[in-house]
Chains A and B, each alone.
Chain A
Amino acid sequence: MAPLNLARLIAVAADTIAAHAEELTALDQAIGDGDHGLNMKRGFEAVRAEADAFAAKPLPDALKAIGTKLVMTVGGASGPLFGTLFMALGKEIAADPDRSGLAAAFGKAVEAVAARGKSQIGQKTMLDVLQPVHDALAADKTAAEIADIADAAAEATVPMRALRGRASFLGERSIGHMDAGARSTALLVRSVGQAIGESA
């Protein structure tokens, strides 16, 4: 794989989250507590503020540090969930991973998120995007294909009934809305693909 420009990747991800903050908040207002956009924006701006320091570290350490920063700054359940994703990825990944190493590490990170949220696939959460993204990584799909798969997976949460998180309180009324965490996950997947595509 082409060498990863982590500072650029962070900038693209933070820009994407900032540009979609209102949309994420609107999704969360429909079936949650309405703080997802602001929380994610706060977390990714905090990561952006230290992007150069993160980029100077070896990839595993950088991912762990980004995860810790998200845990400390997001200020909602998304903090530990996205934080755990990055921390576990950092713990599992090699400093210069090939595709199969990346897919394996990502698989472990998805398991860590499931454990943190005591959740599983099909419960209308970010896991419903993470799992197909893992499968696409393992199947050697291109960055553009993976981004499309993530978008479709987020869209597929619309008819689901929420079984975890605040949206689960609404029962059947959670049906018909996209899960905000699934949407933000898909946005991040596309940002990563875009940043990697620029450097390829």
Chain B
Amino acid sequence: MSNVGIVIVSHSPLVAEGTADMVRQMVGDEVPLAWCGGNGHGGLGTNVEAIMGAIDKAWSEAGVAILVDLGGAETNSEMAVEMIGEPRAQKIIVCNAPIVEGAVMAATESSGGASLKEVVATAHELSPS
């Protein structure tokens, strides 16, 4: 698919899956979408391996925008991007935006064929700078 992919990374699998449901309601299958949540051992947290898997699943040559909740989700997502490495890493951006609103807005932008830069900018507009 040529639309920008969206990855949702929350400390809670319930939050991540629920956010993905809200994205799907808005854009259907027009946007590559994946989510992950939890520390991989049944607890709250985020997991680099799971994030790398979600990026693979939502991969698009147009790029992937990642929406995160709290600090550890951001740090682990940045680590995952670095471990994926170039040339794909330059097409993956961790957004600074609220996870639910950011994911829905970014996916909606993506479904219209927007570039990665445009998708990320739409999500970033939700965060007061």
Residue numbers of A with Cβ under 8 A of B are 33, 35, 38-39, 42, 68, 71-72, 75-77, 79-81, 83-84, 116-117, 164-166
Contact = CB atoms under 8 A, between A and B. Distances in A.
B71 A75 contact: no
A32 to B, nearest CB: 10
B17 to A, nearest CB: 18
A31 B49 CA distance: 27
Given A35-B39, A75-B39, A116 B83 contact: no
A35 B79 contact: no
B112 interface: no
7 shortest interchain CB distances as A-B pairs: A75-B39, A77-B72, A80-B79, A77-B75, A75-B45, A80-B75, A76-B72
Contact of B49 (A38, A39, A72): A72
B41 to A, nearest CB: 6
Contact of A33 (B44, B48, B78, B83): B44
A79 B43 contact: no
A69 B94 CA distance: 23
Contact of A77 (B40, B41, B43, B76): B76
Chain B CB within 10 Å, residue with most, of A72, A81, A166: A72
A170 to B, nearest CB: 13
